[in-house]
Amino acid sequence: MLQASMAATVFHFGLWSNVRVKAKRLFFASGVRELRACRWREGSTLTSSAARRMFIEFFKERHGHRVVPSAPVRPRGDPSLLFVNAGMNQFKPIFLGTVDPRSEMARYRRVVNSQKCVRAGGKHNDLDDVGRDVYHHTFFEMLGNWSFGDYFKEEACAMAWQLLTGSYGIPRDRLYVSYFGGDRTLGLEADEETREIWLNIGVQPNRILPFGMKDNFWEMGETGPCGPCTEIHYDHVGGRDVAHLVNSDSSDVVEIWNLVFMQYSREADGSLRALHQHSVDTGMGLERLVAVLQGKRSNYDTDLFTPLFSAIQQHFRCPEYRGQTGVADKSKVDMAYRVIADHIRALTVCIADGVYPGMSGAQLVLRHILRRAVRFSTEVLKSTPGSLSKLVPTVVHILGDTYPEVLKETDRIMDIINDNEAQFLSSLKQGRRVIDRTLQNMNGSTVFPGSVAWSLHCHLGFPLDLLRLMVEEKGVAMDTEALDRLALENKKVRAQTQASEHDSCVDLDVKVLPELQGLGITYTNDLPKYQYSLGQDGRYVFLPCHATIQALICGQGLVPEVEKGQRCGVIFDKTCFYTEQGGQDHDQGYFTQEILPDVLFPVEQVHLVGGYVVHQVTATERLKRGDQVQLFLDEGQRLACMVKHTATHILNHCLRQLLGDGVEQRGSHVSADHLRFDFSVKRSLSIQQLQEIEKMIRDIIEGNEPVYIEELPLKVAKGIPGLRTVDEVYPDPARVVSVGVPIADLLKGHNNKPASVELCCGTHLLMTGEIQDFVVVSERQIAKGVSRIVAVTGAQAKEAREAGRVLECEVDSLRVRLTAASPSLPGIHRLSKEAGLLIDAVENTAIPQWQRRELSNQLKSLQRSSNTMIRKLEIAEAAKKVQSLLKKHTNRSLVVDTVDTDSISVVMKTVNQYSDQAPGVMVMLLSHQESGKVLCACQVPKGFSAFSANDWALAVCAHLGGNAGGSDTVAKGTGSAVDIAEAIQWARNFAEGRMQQR
């Protein structure tokens, strides 16, 4: 396919003369109209809204493009992207040919829009550059026009030049263009066609510059649509020749428009596959365009940002913005303005589109963006808490008319930013002290310790890029080598099973239990782990815990103190950390010494051994028995575990309600990411049962029912009607967890509805609404009579539903195309292959399990139908070929000939049918492909002794540099040949020679 595409490109080169005529006609005809229009001139007051509107109207009114709205920044069911990073993302199904033929998108030919984009994380990541210069952004608006199998290179270039030099009136002598200079390793030639187009439009040769894959071959992600591109660059100074500054990260010469010619799809193995049609995908950043149109050297000096700068100065009461960069911006105030203005736009748009700061994927990236903004606002501009969210209304004012979705979410966006800011400020304060103290103790070293940076990253949630920035501002470099090593070690540790880690700790601690008891050290009071509440604002409040070190375990026994760098177990008199038990992961977090509060001791593991809670740490400073400490939980991880644990109880209850009292729990595990629940059942749940389970659980979530928790004497607790227990030893008194019904009512027998009631030592929510959503993403039998459910909650559940909807649309699209498909063998083959790919996608994507089974059944049915159609078409095609061959080879005992097909199955069926209609004939058929490949099949009569079919096929295919296999009567194989006539003659000579030897 790639060769065919390259051949098409060569064909285009032969049409340069036509291109020249077309481009000139298109450009000059439209150019006359443009010159009559009101055009911008440098220094005008054209607003960003007007610039955006002019772009849309130019393609809509003058070139017949359809206006489509911006997609949300969260990709629609596309796991290859963290965010929508280009205007073309929503049109990916069109480029790949997978668009639902019944959808509106299937009718798109020419479209135009302004798309919200985020480039932070993933292949396109501008986060580190934001603030340092005056033209990078995490969030930006991408103006774009697209052609889907309609116009191509010459029209796209001409339209772009018309708009820039005509409608916008940008001086031509300020513009440079680049084009793809080729890549030998991929076998891609230079795009001389595009160069010729620009020459004929009138661009001077010295302003048309070739660049390689990095600059002029555009790819959406690691996989997906891609192709060569041509870019238009603007010189803010003018009156000079600065071709050497193009693509050199100069703030004076910047790219403003990228025209991508979508010709290929990047596959998972790195290869390029030619797309089914050529398309055009252009993207022009509104921010950079407006800077040009308003005569500004900086994107941040335009009306997209100046209202934000005014709001920052008003709310933060900081020095005014001066527009300085680099060494001139010594105080970093101007950099802070740019970071905050950019990041608050990204946060506002992302949260409005359903992406929230979190712990993985796009959510983790957004968390980094928010924390970076908080750090600059508090550390550099000295703002007060809550100031950042006050900028949201200004963003809404600037963008709301174009993107009305942000108008609806203003209050919620502000609340989310405030919550996350408050959480980070606490960590930031502690982290800054750690950094300052570390710098003081470096004794003149210019390399910041990687171990300290890694601790801050893992245990306080500091983004590594933020840490690098903070230490670089102190004139110190980060020890990246140590960071990489620690990241690798951490990956290895996480790969180990938790069971082996637990056993290691238990073996060590059991040896010192008698010694602990002999010293009179009391058991750890871990009741503080349950000391949390719901504040008036609905957020969970976890209280810090003050404690005393009772014992230190190092090596094979107790020690009075441990030195910095030693790994040890720490036992406190009390702790707020939850130990791994009841199927719930242990808590994460750290503790500090009261005499040295800026030193973090990250807690690596927490285990309960013989009544003592052992906190495994690697000492970051000296520790000794009797030290006073304060313990801090990772509140996000704890809350996520609470969500999953309460959801597990509800799942257990609903399974029993649906399937009967015979359902018994056989195991469970709760982590921050997912919950796993094993239970007794004769067979896997049906699609209807899975749907009903989810509905029952969502009803309880939506009811926001209270969760009642109380300690009762074990005997009393076990007398509660409907109580669920598992086969384990319970403490006395026992902790009872009831969802929706007060425990007092349960004891009195006043409960009028079935309720989830269990004995449980885990940590739970106080209201079920915090679960938000629930989706079973996997359900399968792991042993006879035991099934395992894996489920997700909250945002992960919503993402699973969205992914399921996307796959459902793709399956529906395949069904329609297969039903409406003309009886073409190549076409049915393609649809059958697509069914196979969709089966893999359905099996390996996190979607509702009931939907997975529905879609799998549908796809298997479609695949069976397509295979039946293929078989019938192949038999019919073979029958036609046999009739032609029979007429050609009447009364011959040896037939060697060619057939025209690209299917070895057709070759085989033709050989079989020929032998059926001409018994006793030795027949070999070859099919010669355009690539030079040869398909071979043969058959000899049963009992024929001169040679076997396998011998014949092996000899011929070996002669052709290939291989073959089969039986005495039937065989097939492949090879390659330039001259098929020579191959036929060789095969005939082989057979005749063997028969003569007989």
Handedness of CA 461, 465, 471, 477 (dihedral sign): positive
User: What distance lies between CA 40 and its chain's CA centroid?
Assistant: 41
Q: Evaluate whether 140 touches 399 at the Cβ level (below 8 Å).
A: no
- Give the C-alpha separation, 740 to 517, whole Å: 42
Where does residue 983 rank: exposed (0-12), middle (13-18), buried (19+ CB within 10 A)?
A: buried
CA distances from 908 to 61, 145, 926 (A): 57, 49, 10
Where does residue 403 rank: exposed (0-12), middle (13-18), buried (19+ CB within 10 A)?
A: buried
- Give the C-alpha separation, 164 to 152, whole Å: 18
Q: Are strands 623-624 and 786-793 parallel, antiparallel or unpaired?
A: unpaired
Supply φ then ψ for residue 269, to 5 degrees. Answer: -85, 5
- Give the C-alpha separation, 985 to 983, whole Å: 5
- Give the C-alpha separation, 909 to 840, whole Å: 30
Strands (E), 516-622: 532-534, 540-542, 545-554, 557-559, 561-562, 567-572, 589-593, 596-609, 612-618
- Total residues belonging to the chain: 998
Strand partners, 148: 279
User: Which run of H or of E encompasses 969?
Assistant: none
Strands (E), 587-739: 589-593, 596-609, 612-618, 623-624, 628-633, 665-670, 675-680, 707-712, 734-739
Q: Is 607 annotated as a binding residue?
A: no
Where does residue 782 rank: exposed (0-12), middle (13-18), buried (19+ CB within 10 A)?
A: exposed
Q: Is 615 annotated as a binding residue?
A: no
Nearest alpha-carbon partner for 486 in 604, 572, 580, 384? 604
Q: Are strands 175-180 and 208-211 parallel, antiparallel or unpaired?
A: parallel
What's the first-to-final CA gap in the chain, in angstroms?
A: 47
> What does the block give as tokens for 416?
């989310």
User: What three-state secondary structure class fits 601?
Assistant: strand
- Give the C-alpha separation, 501 to 287, whole Å: 52
Supply φ then ψ for residue 554, to 5 degrees. Answer: -140, 135
CA distances from 315 to 217, 311, 338 (A): 43, 6, 15
Where does residue 485 rank: exposed (0-12), middle (13-18), buried (19+ CB within 10 A)?
A: middle
- Give the C-alpha separation, 663 to 629, whole Å: 46
Q: Is 137 annotated as a binding residue?
A: no
- Other beta carbons within 10 angstroms of residue 599's beta carbon come to 22
- Other beta carbons within 10 angstroms of residue 729's beta carbon come to 6
Q: Is 645 annotated as a binding residue?
A: yes
User: What three-state secondary structure class fits 397?
Assistant: helix
DSSP result, 173-224: GGEEEEEE--BTTTTBPP-HHHHHHHHHHT--GGGEEEE-HHHHEEESSSSE
Q: Evaluate whether 300 touches 336 at the Cβ level (below 8 Å).
A: no
Q: Are strands 66-67 and 110-118 parallel, antiparallel or unpaired?
A: parallel
The vertex-283 CA angle with 280 and 288, nearest 5°, equals: 155
Q: Which residues are annotated as a binding site?
A: 645, 649, 760, 764
Q: Which residues are annotated as a binding site for Zn(2+)?
A: 645, 649, 760, 764
